[in-house]
Amino acid sequence: MSPHQDADSPWKTVLRRFFPEAITFFFPDIANLIDWQKPPVFLDKEFVRLTPNAKIGKRYADQLVKVQLKRRQTLILLLHIEIQASKERCFEERMLVYALRIFDHFHQLPCSLAILCDSISDWRPHHHALVSPSSRLDFEFTASKLLDYQSQWADLEANPNPFAVVVMAHLKAQALKQKGPELRHWKFLLVRSLYERGYNRAQILDLFKFIDWIIVLPTALNNSFWNDLKTYEEEKKMAYITSVEKIGFKRGKQAGKQAGRQETQRSIILSMLAEGIPLETIARVTQLSIEQIQAIQKP
C-alpha cells in the first residue's frame, strides 16, 4: 500500500491533533460559536454504528465530534466533518443520509461540514433535496474547497494556524505530483517553515508526518531531502525530525539482530510507533511493508 492509498489515517490524525485549529481555519463562523475550554469529544463508536455499510459512498476521514457552545452551556453541537478526495456522484445524498441518521440517534441536527480536497474547480456540493408529490426535504451543508486557497498563498504563508501548512502541502502535492525536483524543493520549504513558525517539537513532528505522507519523493530525491533537513536541524540545534529518524534506524538495526535477544521485532515496532516514528520510516529501517506494520499495530 502506498502512502496515498492509505488516505484515511493521515487526514484523521491531523484533524484530531489540531481539531480546534481545523475548524477555526476552514469554518471560522462555526468556531466562534464553540466554547473551546470544553474539550471536544470524538464519537467514533457512535459514528461506526450510524454508518455500518459503505454502499452510500466511500468514507474518507469522516469525523463526528461533540462540542459545547458558548452561549448555552447545556447545548451540544454535533459536527460532521468530511474530507472528500474526489468528485463523488452521491456525495450530497451521503451527507444527507448521515445527517438524518445522526438526528435519529441524538435528536439533534448535526452541523454538517465538508472539506473538499479534489482538483475539480467547478464541483461545489452543498445541497440535496428529496421531493415527493406531497412533501419536500431540502438539506444544505457548508463546504470548504482547498483549491480556493491556491490564490491566497501569501495569506497561507503568513497564517500561524497549523492547517495553513496542511493546505499548502496538499496543494503542492496535488499540483506538482509529476515534478519531482520542484516537489522536493517545496517539501523542504514546508518542513523548514514548521520551525520558522515557532511550533513546538510535538507539533512539528505531527505536521511532518502529514507532509511526509502527502509529498512522496523518489528515493534519490528523498535521500537528498533528508540530508538537507539534517543539515538544517544541526544549524538550528533543533534535531526534532532527524532524531526520530535516527531512533528509527537504531531500532531497525536492533530488529535485524533478534537472535539471542528478548525483545522481538513486534515489540520493537510497537515501541517505534509509540515514539511517533512515521510508518514510512519504520518500513525503511525494518524492510517491512506498511501493510505488515499496520498488521502488527492491530491488537
145 phi-psi bin (left φ>0, alpha ψ -120 to 50, beta other): beta
Instruction: Look at residues 5, 126, 109 and name the one whose alpha carbon lies nearest to residue 58.
Output: 5
Question: Helices (DSSP H) in the chain: which residue ranges?
Answer: 8-17, 19-26, 28-31, 44-50, 91-106, 153-158, 162-175, 180-196, 201-214, 219-236, 241-255, 265-274, 279-286, 290-297
Helix (H) or strand (E) holding 5, with range, is: none
The residues near 262 (Cβ < 8 Å, ≥ 6 apart) are: none
Grid cell 480536497 — which residue? 117
Per the CB < 8 A criterion, the answer to whether 188 and 176 are in contact is no
Contacts of 185 (CB under 8 A, 6+ apart): none
The segments of the chain whose pLDDT lies below 50 read 1-7, 54-59, 74, 247-263
Q: Which residues lie across from 167 on neighbouring strands?
A: none
Beginning with the edge strand found earlier in the chain, give each strand of the sheet holding 76-84 in spatial order: 41-42, 63-68, 76-84, 111-116, 142-145
Say if residues 275 and 244 touch (Cβ distance below 8 Å): yes
Short-list 174, 198, 199, 197, CA closest to 186? 174
Instruction: Write out pLDDT tens, residues 76-117.
Output: 666 767 676 677 788 899 889 989 999 999 888 889 999 988
Return the biggest CA–CA distance within the chain. Answer: 76
Environment class of 55 (CB within 10 Å of its CB; exposed 0-12, middle 13-18, buried 19+)? exposed
Region of residue 97 (left: phi > 0; alpha: psi -120 to 50; beta: else): alpha
| Residue 19, SS3 per DSSP | helix
The 10s digit of each residue's pLDDT in 186-228 is 999 999 999 999 999 889 989 998 998 899 888 889 888 888 9
Which pLDDT does position 233 carry in this prediction?
A: 87
